[in-house]
Homo-oligomer: A and B are copies of this chain.
Amino acid sequence: MPTRQTRIQRKNHIAILDAALEVFSLQGFRGATLDEIANVAQISKPNILYYFTSKDAIYTALLTDLLATWLDPLRAIDPEGDPITEIMTYLRCKLDLSRDFPRESRLFANEIIQGAPRLKAVLETELKELVDDKVKIFTIWMNAGKIAQMHPVHLLFSIWSLTQHYADFDAQVQAVSGPSNSPHYADAWGFLELLFTKLLRP
């Protein structure tokens, strides 16, 4: 659109995306309904389709918004930095994302579990290139004896799975270790710090 949005337009736009995140992250694309999104957003269904051309458009908007935020911390790993510090910072950052943006994490998880129908292409190009780049850095660090020798790709997988677990499987975490959020994350950080300190030490 050539013209700038009004304040109300922007407010509704954001309210719709927020409600859609709530619903899509719990139900996946097909399980979610516009009715539910409309209820959560407190905006009528036709009005939602005034702001977005279709249910699919809302979902895609959320996913593309998300991917950038999700990959930024990985991009930030600096080949010139101290290896252990760089990886621990990334780990910490990913855990903070799980704590502060659990819905985004679950939205992503839903999409991947369902075979990544809308993200597959991006994963195979943008994500793969980024991963290849960082894997090279890890390998250099390993060969220089800065961190222990291990499969670099699975090192990344381990960071992803261990941190995202607390957002995606929150229902299980809470069922097993009681409600209240913050303590879990404090304990989780203690555990992960110990784990990766031992793992990375050459």
Q: Give the secondary structure class of A's interface.
A: helix
| Residues 99-152 of A at the B interface (beta carbon under 8 Å) | 106, 109-110, 112-116, 120, 123-124, 127-128, 131, 148, 150-151
A54 interfacial by beta-carbon distance below 8 Å: no
CB of A31, distance to nearest CB on chain B (Å): 3
User: Which residues of B sit under 8 angstroms from A158, Cβ to Cβ?
Assistant: 162, 191, 195
Report yes or no: A176 in contact with B127, Cβ–Cβ below 8 A.
Answer: yes
Binding-face segment, A3-11, A12-20, A78-86, A163-171: A163-171
Chain A interface, number of residues (Cβ within 8 angstroms): 53
Is residue A57 contacting chain B, with contact meaning CB distance below 8 A? Answer: no
* Inter-chain contact B109/A154, CB cutoff 8 Å: no
Q: Is A187 an interface residue (CB 8 A)?
A: yes
Q: Assess the B191–A155 pair: CB atoms within 8 A.
A: yes
Contact of A154 with B198 in the complex, beta carbons under 8 Å = no
* CB-based contact A113/B106 at 8 Å: yes
B26 touches A176 (CB 8 A): no
B-chain residues with CB within 8 Å of residue A116 when the two chains form the complex: 171-172, 175
Instruction: Say whether A123 contacts B154, CB under 8 Å.
Output: no
- Residues of B within 8 Å of A190, CB to CB, are 151
A116 to chain B, nearest CB (A): 4
16 A-B interface contacts by CB (under 8 A): A28-B30, A28-B110, A113-B113, A113-B169, A116-B175, A120-B175, A123-B171, A123-B175, A127-B172, A128-B175, A150-B194, A153-B187, A156-B176, A157-B166, A198-B198, A199-B199
**Residue A29 CB within 8 A of the other chain:** yes
Query: Is there contact, CB below 8 Å, between A154 and B31?
Result: no
The answer to whether A172 and B112 have CB atoms under 8 Å apart is: yes
